[in-house]
Amino acid sequence: MIERYALSPMKDLWSEEAKFDSWLEVELAVCDYWASVGRIPAEDLETIHQRAKIDVPRIEAIEEEVRHDVIAFTTQLAEKIGPSSRFVHMGLTSSDVVDTALALRVKRAGALILNGLERVHAVLSNLAVKHAYTVMMGRTHGMHAEPTTMGLKALVWREEFGRHLHRMREAIEEMNVGKISGAVGTCAHTGIELEEAVMAELGLKAAPVSTQVLQRDRHAHFMTTLALIGASIEKIATEIRNLQRPEVRELEEPFRKGQKGSSAMPHKRNPVQCEQLTGLARVLRGNAIPAMENVALWSERDISHSSTERVVLADSCILADYMLHKIAGILERLTVNEERMRANLNVTRGLIFSQKMLLYLVDQGLTREDAYAAVQGAAMRTWHGGEDFAGELLKEAAVAERLTREDLEKAFDVQPYLGQVKAIFRRCGIELE
């Protein structure tokens, strides 16, 4: 991933040095097991632990010649360790090391993603509570519908990220497995006991059964979870972009002192951070496709998955980490323009109370069809430049017989729309004061 979207410690986890360090973790754990059952003399094990050091440039130089990264890795270790290196990689195939080490790194990356999710979840919880009763226009199809609150909007986002926390924990658990089962997964040269002991030392579980590789549905689950997280970040970013438009201006992403929005137009305050997140979410979704296509490998393995995973796993973890950091910062400093929200409630001159009028007329004995026709007729005249909604309603006989202008003005009150807010929050585990 380019530096622009890469943050430490996540980007460091996907460096070449970190990759080879994780391979060495696996190799040393296997050596520890062989020593525990008498296959490696104690003095050789001590030498291996003391001298096994990673030299990335040397590995890369060897790979230029041998055209095999794991062989280049073990050859470089042999140069460092000396004669005792004959015990390194004993009984293993390349994927035993690569897949198990990858599980270690994904597990660590997943922990960083969880931290980011927890931060966003907490920010959304605070935003929801702070604006639980901040009334604003609810919109469907981009059009004014009925009043809602900024708190309920944030609560929807908060619950979504709660589900992402659950999904990510599940995805990490599915990736929390390794394998030392050999060339086609039979454990013929190592035994199940070694596999289980090594995984225990590494903090992983042994895959119950494997081929030469861990099955890629696990990796696809992890990658699609990252893509879903990106989709939800995009969802929030898109809403902020929409509500930042000057004719709406209910929300605004942070705009720092000294920031400039346009090279040509000094007045511009563009939602560039949210636009950036919208674009990066597309990359996460795109990366999920090869992860799913990697599930279908030939027989006990091929390496068609390997090249794509070198790109998409690292990039998606780094991007998701960056995006979570970015959206959390936006939400922590989000401008909520309450005055503008109140003003926008009146843009349609009372039309937002149409359902309330429909239900009132039905309660008064009109058929739903007759009530709908009366309310819609008044609404359409209001849309097309007539009086305000109350005035147009009073031109409908069914309404004028039952309500006065004063009755309508009292009825056109947003407070009744807030009656269930507290109960909805309680259902989501939050008690409002």
Active-site residues, by number, are 141, 262
Paired tokens of 242: 């929409």
Residues 217-227: b if buried by 16+ CB within 10 A, e if exposed: ebbbbbbbbbb
Polymer length of the chain: 433
In degrees and rounded to multiples of 5, residue 316 shows phi and psi of -70, -40
Question: Alpha-carbon torsion 417, 418, 420, 425, what sign?
Answer: positive
- Residue among 268, 284, 169, 143 nearest 226 (CA): 284
Amino acid at 243: L
Nearest-angstrom CA–CA distance, 291 and 228: 14
> Distance between CA atoms of 355 and 416, rounded to whole angstroms?
13
Omega before residue 57 within 30° of 0, cis: no
| Rounded (10°) angle between helices 16-36 and 192-202 | 130
Q: What are 149's strand-pairing partners? A: 135
Q: Are 124 and 330 in contact (CB under 8 A)?
A: no
Residues facing 148 on adjacent strands:
136
- The burial of 276, by beta-carbon neighbours within 10 Å (0-12 exposed, 13-18 middle, 19 or more buried), is given as middle
Q: How many angstroms separate the CA atoms of 227 and 281, rounded? A: 7
Alpha-carbon dihedral sign for residues 163, 431, 345, 362: positive
